[in-house]
């Protein structure tokens, strides 16, 4: 159903802005999705799917693309999440408006957006997750919450 929904809507499935410069979504799979992202001001994409987006999808779009493959429905290595979040912070601080996406826009995207929120707002993982879920319901699968607990220990020692 999500795949069908994504085909018939302007933007990718589950698209929403987390902050003024950071968005999350499911897989942008059509030129219409990319056009929608450009209209939203997106200038960079961080992809968390196992396979990268087809290069022709972003051809002549002037969107920076970064691929960090993470396994679907699984907790990720907290060190890898930290690497992705640091890159996201660097992109935002350099003026980019960034989309983070996975296939459905919930689990992997939710993990990265929650970790980003933890660091940006100096929140514990539960509060950051509640914040993200208030904007993006369904974010982060139960088995991925442990990754966020471990991420907090790694990224915020002494918390």
Q: Which residues are marked as active site?
A: 102
Distance CA 102, CA 125 (A): 20
User: Which of 71, 87, 81 minimizes the C-alpha distance to 114?
Assistant: 81
Question: Cα torsion at 98, 158, 139, 87 (round to 10°)?
Answer: 20
Burial class for 71, CB neighbours closer than 10 Å (0-12, 13-18, 19+): exposed
CB-based contact 85:93 (threshold 8 Å): no
Distance CA 130, CA 59 (A): 37
């Amino acid at each position: 159903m999500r795949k069908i929904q994504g085909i018939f809507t302007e933007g990718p499935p589950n698209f929403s802005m987390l902050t003024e410069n950071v968005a999350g979504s499911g897989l942008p799979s059509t030129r219409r999705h990319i056009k929608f992202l450009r209209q939203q001001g997106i200038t960079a994409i961080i992809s968390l799917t196992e396979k990268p987006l087809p290069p022709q999808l972003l051809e002549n779009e002037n969107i920076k693309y970064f691929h960090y493959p993470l396994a679907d429905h699984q907790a990720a290595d907290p060190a890898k999440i930290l690497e992705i979040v640091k890159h996201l912070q660097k992109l935002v601080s350099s003026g980019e408006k960034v989309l983070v996406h996975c296939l459905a826009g919930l689990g992997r995207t939710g993990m990265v957006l929650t970790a980003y929120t933890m660091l940006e707002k100096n929140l514990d993982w539960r509060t950051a997750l509640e914040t993200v879920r208030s904007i993006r319901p369904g974010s982060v699968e139960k088995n991925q919450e442990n990754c966020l607990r471990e991420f907090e220990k790694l990224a915020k020692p002494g918390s």
